[in-house]
Amino acid sequence: MSELHLKNALDTLKKTGVRITPQRHAILEYLIESMSHPTADDIYKALEHRFPNMSVATVYNNLRVFREAGLVRELTYGDNASRFDFVTSKHYHIICESCGKIVDFHYPGLDEVEHLAAHVTGFKVNSHRLEVYGICPECAKKENQTEE
Amino acid sequence: MSELHLKNALDTLKKTGVRITPQRHAILEYLIESMSHPTADDIYKALEHRFPNMSVATVYNNLRVFREAGLVRELTYGDNASRFDFVTSKHYHIICESCGKIVDFHYPGLDEVEHLAAHVTGFKVNSHRLEVYGICPECAKKENQTEE
DNA sequence: TTATTTATTTATAATCGTTATAATTAGTTT
DNA sequence: AAACTAATTATAACGATTATAAATAAATAA
């Protein structure tokens, strides 16, 4: 399953003439297998034992390469570090405002919003971003325990 | 119209024990009357002729105060500067990927998404963020002219 | 194969938005 | 007026990201 994702991703890169370096392979592999939404630094830390000389710049550079190839989505959070998400199928994120955890959920198209926005503003619409914020079950439990 | 918004905003601040300093008054006034989505630096630049000694920190501090009072919403964009939006009614933003312009549009509640997300993930949902991306009419026109 | 070009990585410095700190000023309360 | 508190200012620091230049690796041409 995840091997297939990796294989497809590598194929996509090859097609666009991007070299598959060991670092790139490892970063992609980590993104796919960790099943999380890591920051560039998370990735750097996770791989530094295998690539002791790797630079953070390499991580950033390659995440940009992957983003431009459409393999990876960047989730930006103001002053805080961006998180990177391997693109599989369309999904949205719900984010815990207490611990920062990000959980995926699916929701059938919000095409209607795009259409309405295009109609009202005259924009040519390309995409949208939707995030839901709240408190995850674990944090909610903790808050109850401490009678917050 | 905008005077009323300003008056209400000042009342809200007074109620929560926040002092109305000349700088705060000016920042709020600018946010309301500019009808735009300025960065902290935009505000700083717009007011520096009236407050030659004002510090950027003051702008940031007060935008945080306003945000915490619910008067202002902060729109974050990764590494780029946040934009600040005086809260009037519920609306969403459509952003031009070419020139960065932000235009408001209204859309009747996405409560259903919140409910579904809560149900699927077990989160206690507080809010959501939705943005649409595309190309504004002006940029689209330019692109056509240059046969892009 | 070797030489040459090109892409990639590395190391490091720089940038930029934002926040922290400490000193000063202004406003409030006693 | 004195004492206390809040807000502002000036400046330094921070952290995420990017730019730069040198070094290395890979691909292509000779």
Q: What is the pLDDT of residues B50-106, one digit of tens each?
A: 999 999 999 999 999 999 999 999 998 877 899 999 988 788 999 998 888 899 998
Buried b (16+ CB within 10 A) or exposed e, B79-109: eebbbbbbbeeeebbbbbeeeebebebebee
pLDDT of residue A146: 60
- List all residues 6 or more positions away from A82 whose beta carbon is below 8 Å from its beta carbon: A39, A40, A74, A75, A76, B78, B79
Which residue of B63, B132, B142 is the best one to mutate when testing the A interface, meaning the one whose CB has the most A CBs within 10 A? B132
Question: In terms of Cα–Cα distance, which of A148, A147, A105 is closest to A130?
Answer: A105
> Under CATH, which number does the domain A1-88 receive?
1.10.10.10
Å: B48 CA to D20 C1': 35
Protein-proximal positions, strand C, CB < 7 A: 7-13, 16-21, 27-28
CA–CA gap between residue B65 and residue B13 (Å, rounded) = 9
Give me the phi and psi of B139, to 5 degrees please.
-65, -35
Q: Which regions in chain A score pLDDT beneath 50?
A: 147-148
CA distance from start to end of chain A: 43
Residue B139 Cα distances to A20, A118, A123, B36, B145, angstroms = 36, 14, 9, 18, 10
Q: Take residue B90 and report the two structure tokens written for it.
A: 């519920």
Ordered by start, the domain boundaries in chain B are 1-88, 89-148
CB atoms within 10 A of CB A49: 7
CA angle B107, B130, A61 (to 5 degrees): 155
Residue B121 Cα distances to A94, A97, B52, B115, B124, angstroms = 8, 14, 51, 10, 9
Which segments of chain B does DSSP mark as H helices, in order? 2-15, 22-34, 40-47, 56-68, 111-121, 137-145
**Residue range B89-148 in CATH 3.30.1490.190:** yes
Q: Which residues pair with B105 in a beta bridge?
A: B92
Residues 84-143 of A with CB under 8 A from B: 92, 94, 96-97, 103, 105-107, 110, 113-114, 116-118, 120-137, 140
CA angle A114, A31, A95 (to 5 degrees): 50
On the question of pLDDT at B23 being above 60, the answer is yes
Tokens 């109305």 identify what position? B20
Please write the tens of the pLDDT for every residue from A113-123.
Answer: 999 999 999 99
On the question of pLDDT at B148 being above 50, the answer is no
Cα-Cα-Cα-Cα dihedral of A139, A89, A10, A36, to 10°? 0
Tokens 């944090």 identify what position? A139
Q: Cβ of B76 and A74 within 8 Å?
A: no
Kindly list the residues from chain B whose CB atom is less than 8 angstroms away from the CB atom of residue A74: 78
Please write the tens of the pLDDT for every residue from B102-135.
Answer: 999 988 778 889 999 999 999 999 989 999 999 9
